[in-house]
Amino acid sequence: ETLAMFGYQPGDLDPAIPPALIHGGADHLVLALKSRRALAAMAYDLKQGQALMRREELVTILLAYAETPRLFHTRNPFASGGVYEDPATGAAAAAFAGYLRDIGWPHGGAIDIVQGEDMGMRSRLHADIPPTPGTSIRVSGTARLMDED
Give the CATH number for residue 76.
3.10.310.10
Q: What is the dihedral of CA 104, 137, 127, 5, to 10 degrees?
A: 70
Position 66 in a domain = yes
For the four alpha carbons of 43, 44, 46 and 49, in that order, the dihedral sign comes to negative
List pLDDT tens digits, range 49-95: 999 999 999 999 999 999 999 999 999 999 999 999 999 989 999 99
**Higher pLDDT among residues 1 and 106, named by residue:** 106
**147 lies in some domain:** no
Interatomic CA distance for residues 7 and 42, integer angstroms: 7
Asked, for residue 149, whether it belongs to a domain, the answer is: no
Number of domains in the chain: 1
pLDDT at 11 over 80: yes
| Residue 146 belongs to a domain | no
**98/110 Cα distance (integer angstroms):** 10
The domain of 99 spans 2-141
Report pLDDT for 149: 55
Report if residue 148 sits inside a domain.
Answer: no
Question: What pTM, to 2 d.p., does this model score?
Answer: 0.92
